[in-house]
Structure 1
Amino acid sequence: MTGAPPDEAPRGAGPDDGIPALIEALRARGAAGFDAVGFRVIEAMWRRGGHLQGTARTALRRKLARRLAAFRERFERAGGSADIGRPA
């Protein structure tokens, strides 16, 4: 698999959400090859959450944010770039 970018943001996602940008930044640094299954789960969670609204959407975003943070931490510890998703 080549790791195509995730689909557009779920309906109702704000431009400040940052999740698609973080996923893309991780991919650009090779994170999809670091833990392919974990990375695909993150992408799938983002794509499939498009139909959710209200409390369900909020819960999914929180869960996804935790999963992304844990993935990024493991990736950085393994030698990935430490500046992914951090302000310049």
Structure 2
Amino acid sequence: MTRALLLAIAIAAVAPFATASTTGTIGVQLTIFSRCEINSQPQRAVPQIDCGRLASAQPRVTESLLEKDAMRKETAKLITIEW
């Protein structure tokens, strides 16, 4: 029992040094566009969004109809923009 306890203490003392000696790098690049233009015209169902004029920077725009309101007899749309 004493040997197991001493072994556990020794492993706990050495573990931080083993992990500290591990090094590496991650190749990640983050590009932040400071400005997006949103164009919502009445003849278009979904607004057009232009961010940075690059195809990879464009958000995904989805539209879904919500349930009809029985009291007001109106149908609402939910437009979701995901980056």
TM-score range, shorter chain: under 0.3
Counting helix residues as a fraction of each chain, which structure ranks higher? 1
Q: Flag the structure with more relative contact order, 1 or 2, with Cα contacts below 8 A and sequence separation at least 6.
A: 1
If the length of structure 1 is used for normalisation, what is the TM-score?
0.23
Query: What TM-score do the two structures reach when normalised by structure 2?
Result: 0.24
Which structure shows the higher strand fraction? 2
